[in-house]
Amino acid sequence: MDAKEIKPIKSPSPHSVGVPYALQIALRFQLNIPEEIKILGVQVKDTTLLSENLTKEVELSLKKVHYKAKEIIDEWLGE
């Protein structure tokens, strides 16, 4: 995904700084940002649940995310 493709999303809280806003700040201050940005995530069933523990579904998904992240990093490193 090209950084220009990421569009800002209005948020009800100033504490919710998303990727688009962070990229805008980086560009404004002429910071180096990568040409390619990959975002990995895990979709949850209940976004209102707050807990110190992961749900079983999220816990199981973490292995997939871990392997995908390693695959991406290895690709970037040319391994």
Q: What are the pLDDT digits (tens) for 18-66? A: 788 888 888 889 999 888 889 898 888 888 888 899 999 999 999 999 9
Question: Do residues 30 and 61 both lie within one domain?
Answer: no
Question: Do residues 48 and 76 both lie within one domain?
Answer: yes
* Beta-carbon contacts of residue 34 (< 8 Å; ≥ 6 apart): none
Question: Do residues 59 and 70 both lie within one domain?
Answer: yes
Question: Do residues 60 and 74 both lie within one domain?
Answer: yes
Sign for the CA dihedral angle at 19, 25, 28, 31 comes to negative
pTM above 0.75, yes or no: no
- Output helix, strand, coil percentages for the chain, rounded to the nearest 5: 45, 0, 55
13 is in which domain, residue-wise? Answer: 1-37
8 A C-beta contact, residue 40 and residue 68 = yes
If one counts the domains in the chain, the total is 2
Question: Do residues 1 and 22 both lie within one domain?
Answer: yes
Looking at residue 6, its amino acid is I
Question: Do residues 47 and 12 both lie within one domain?
Answer: no
